[in-house]
Structure 1
Amino acid sequence: MLRRHLLAATAASIAAPVTLRAQGAAWRPDRPVTIIVPWAAGGSTDQMARIVAAELEAPLGQRVVVVNQPGASGSIGTRNALEAPKDGLTWAAGAAVDVGCYKVLGLLDTALSDWNLFFAVANVNVLVANPQAGFRDFGAAFEALKTRGQGIGVATAGVSSAGHNMLEALRAASPGMQYRHATYDGGNPAMIATVSGETPLGAMLLVEAAEMIRARRLIPLAVQSDNPVTLAAQGSSPAIEIPSVRRWVPNMPAPLNYFGIWSPKGVPEPVVQTMTTIWRDTIANSQRLKDYATSRAALFTPLYGQQAYDEAWKMVRQTAWLYFDGGKARVSPDTVGIARL
């Protein structure tokens, strides 16, 4: 059901007509284009952005450079993209839900509608355990979090990160559950902290933990998805089926987490039109992105424009109110145009 919905959405996106030649609106940058990744190198955003950058270079006829600017849950790098000259040469990358919730968290005065959105993949969250932590399945970890959670460290990429959102959704659906939040400057550092035993548990994106799961350095406990997710076989590693957290917590929401790149509204229209054409003709047919999604148990979702906004808005609404109900929000979502579901 989920994949049929996404395939239909992608097909509609790919079919959207764009007639740049008739409008005389082609954009050819005369300098390198920068994509700011507001997280540490090696994480999910960094992985995706570097593939997208490589795919953009030929159709743009220019170098596309990825720059890591981590800090403040991604808001520092995103602010730099927002405040850069609106000439199309500076883009931000990340999860759309972060951009949609920064204002609620008091991190950055921006909203999802302030950006031209271009998505590449949708990721699922996973809770993993260090093999020495003693948690062999989600049920055991869940009981520990309910009985002594304040003393159990869980590594995430920081406040508002995908892993943090998963933990807050789990806490909202399971009154009494607690955890000690161990924050890092990205999913890759959080994953490394869990592998090293610095924390017994980690909550992050599956794409960030996939290789260490295959190497048996991390135990996958559950994914935040409607259904179990299979991590594809690779080399000597067999396929690994990871159960859905909803097996234990049926009422826990599992919206899709869209990742891509975006530029602030106000850039010249030829920039948006050219990137739309590239997304339709190049990104939507990118074998590198398809292979990346398959190998990391992500979903290939080359959406753009209004359709990208509509899909991302679902998770923004759910997450913004999750922050508010959990006492994490600085302002009520309804005061910034985010109505409760």
Structure 2
Amino acid sequence: MTNANRRDLLKGLVAGAAVLTFMPKKGWAANWPRRPITLVIQYSEGGGTDTIIRAIARSMEKKLGVSLRAVNQPGAGGALATEFVAQKESDGNWLLGGADYNKIFRVLGYTEKAPWMEWQFMKVGRSVPAWAVAPNSRFKTLTEVVEAGRANPGTIRISNAGIGTIWHEATLVALERKTGAKFVHVPYDGGATATLAILQGEADVVGSGVHEQVEYLRSGKIRNLAVFRTEPLAVDGLAEPLRPISEFVPTATEIGLIQGVYEVAIKRDVPKEVLEALQNAVRSAVQDPDFVATLRNRVMFPEFKSGEEADKEAALFESVTSWLYVDNGMQGLKKNPKDVGIPRPEEFEKWWPPKDYKAVL
């Protein structure tokens, strides 16, 4: 073979390799998924986030045709799991299973960019905050807890899933801001461990999701004081409906009902074909009877949102929580929401959508 022929052959091989390198990537996006997917859960096993994300993963497998491996990586209110997935390749094979749209990450200094601009959140369900005590607790009603928090500020311990989580926020709004009471907030790495705290004598009251309390309520190991609702909540297996917060603190729900929100999230820079395929799978999974039954048993509620609808809700969550914590003098905030462009809740509708926003679905 002459040198000229050899050069022509090498050029052809290089060109062919370039085509082979490019084509599979294009084909992969159009035919995603082609291998197992890992779903990283922001909180510990047994809690509400873990329960609903594992349930949605099982239902998504039916639609996607590949296995979804759910793993827990708790810590820093969900920031550790978020950072872990953020560092993975944008190939659709790594998903984030979380709660409440990472709404406090910017003002805590965990991220520079708005979470709803970095991630495409796909809402799969919601839950209700609740307060409970041990059966032998001296507190018979939520009113007694509030009165103790006013008479002896900083002596009553209320456990939660972590500072900045929705359960902490519910206690801050309903039991402190609206009553003048002051409590000791005891953070854990999830609602399940926060609920166990009252059984182990580590807290006087737990503020977590009713779904994280329900099995203990059914077995009589804890006693509910109230749920963050305006009406009683009937629960299968309980003789009496759970009493609403409005019965004890009538002004608690003035800013609206605080609820836990659960979502599957994917990096926004993955190919659009992947985003669309995942959206279809999640939408279908939320309607799966097995998923609906799992949530009903745990007193959770299926609900699907994606695209701009989910982006807007995530931005509103960030607005409400960021300014709530500023107005209540919360410690640990690294940035003022005004300085990073987060509007006050009363200004949100006029502000949305911001100039630099672009929907990806």
TM-score range, shorter chain: 0.7 to 0.9
Matched residue of 2:130: which SS? strand
- What are the superposed Cα offsets for residues 133-162 of structure 1, whole Å, 9 maximum, x if unpaired? 211211111111222241111111111122
- What are the superposed Cα offsets for residues 221-272 of structure 1, whole Å, 9 maximum, x if unpaired? 11122332222x2xxx334411221222222232333211101210111110
Q: Indicate whether 1:158 and 2:157 are aligned.
A: no
Paired with 2:326 and 2:178, the residues of 1 have a C-alpha distance of 16
Q: In the alignment, which residue of structure 2 is the partner of 1:16?
A: none
Paired with 1:171 and 1:326, the residues of 2 have a C-alpha distance of 13
- What are the superposed Cα offsets for residues 57-80 of structure 1, whole Å, 9 maximum, x if unpaired? 132221101111111111111111
Q: Indicate whether 1:259 and 2:262 are aligned.
A: yes
**Aligned letter for 1:322?**
L
- What are the superposed Cα offsets for residues 13-68 of structure 1, whole Å, 9 maximum, x if unpaired? xxxxxxxxxxx974432332111112111111100111111111132221101111
Q: Which of 248-257 and 68-77 deviates more? A: 248-257
Paired with 1:152 and 1:161, the residues of 2 have a C-alpha distance of 19
| Count of paired positions | 313
| Equivalences for residues 94-133 of structure 1 within 5 A | 94-97=98-101, 99-110=102-113, 111-133=115-137
Larger Rg belongs to: 2
Paired with 2:169 and 2:281, the residues of 1 have a C-alpha distance of 32
Paired with 2:335 and 2:110, the residues of 1 have a C-alpha distance of 11
Paired with 2:230 and 2:213, the residues of 1 have a C-alpha distance of 19
- What are the superposed Cα offsets for residues 264-317 of structure 1, whole Å, 9 maximum, x if unpaired? 21011111010122233x223211221122222222102222222233433332
Q: Indicate whether 1:185 and 2:189 are aligned.
A: yes
Paired with 1:186 and 1:169, the residues of 2 have a C-alpha distance of 20
Q: Indicate whether 1:332 and 2:332 are aligned.
A: no
Deviant stretches of 4+, over 6 Å: none
Greater RCO, CA 8 A, separation 6+: 1
Deviation at 1:124, TM superposition (A): 1.0
> Is the contact made by 1:172 and 1:326 (CA closer than 8 Å) also made in structure 2?
no
Deviation at 1:172, TM superposition (A): 5.1
Deviation at 1:196, TM superposition (A): 2.4
Q: Indicate whether 1:170 and 2:171 are aligned.
A: no
> Is the contact made by 1:59 and 1:278 (CA closer than 8 Å) also made in structure 2?
yes
Paired with 1:66 and 1:109, the residues of 2 have a C-alpha distance of 27
Matched residue of 2:180: which SS? coil
Q: In the alignment, which residue of structure 2 is the partner of 1:204?
A: 208
**Aligned letter for 2:246?**
R
Deviation at 1:118, TM superposition (A): 1.1
Could you say if the C-alpha distance between residues 263 and 207 of structure 1 is closer, same or farther in structure 2, counting changes exceeding 3 Å?
A: same
> Is the contact made by 2:158 and 2:205 (CA closer than 8 Å) also made in structure 1?
yes
Q: In the alignment, which residue of structure 2 is the partner of 1:147?
A: 151
Paired with 1:241 and 1:212, the residues of 2 have a C-alpha distance of 15
**Aligned letter for 2:57?**
A
**Aligned letter for 2:225?**
L
Q: Indicate whether 1:244 and 2:230 are aligned.
A: no
Could you say if the C-alpha distance between residues 65 and 151 of structure 1 is closer, same or farther in structure 2, counting changes exceeding 3 Å?
A: same
Matched residue of 1:336: which SS? coil
Q: In the alignment, which residue of structure 2 is the partner of 1:274?
A: 277
The unaligned stretches of length 5 or more in structure 2 are 1-27, 346-361
Could you say if the C-alpha distance between residues 219 and 291 of structure 1 is closer, same or farther in structure 2, counting changes exceeding 3 Å?
A: same
Paired with 1:163 and 1:186, the residues of 2 have a C-alpha distance of 10
Paired with 1:255 and 1:211, the residues of 2 have a C-alpha distance of 22
**Aligned letter for 1:137?**
T
Paired with 1:212 and 1:171, the residues of 2 have a C-alpha distance of 23
Paired with 1:317 and 1:246, the residues of 2 have a C-alpha distance of 24
Relative to the length of structure 1, the TM-score reads 0.86
The unaligned stretches of length 5 or more in structure 1 are 1-23
> Is the contact made by 2:128 and 2:259 (CA closer than 8 Å) also made in structure 1?
yes
Q: In the alignment, which residue of structure 1 is the partner of 2:292?
A: 290
> Is the contact made by 1:321 and 1:333 (CA closer than 8 Å) also made in structure 2?
yes
> Is the contact made by 1:37 and 1:66 (CA closer than 8 Å) also made in structure 2?
yes
Could you say if the C-alpha distance between residues 67 and 320 of structure 1 is closer, same or farther in structure 2, counting changes exceeding 3 Å?
A: same
Paired with 2:258 and 2:154, the residues of 1 have a C-alpha distance of 27
**Aligned letter for 1:276?**
Q
> Is the contact made by 1:190 and 1:204 (CA closer than 8 Å) also made in structure 2?
yes
Matched residue of 2:97: which SS? strand
**Aligned letter for 1:53?**
A
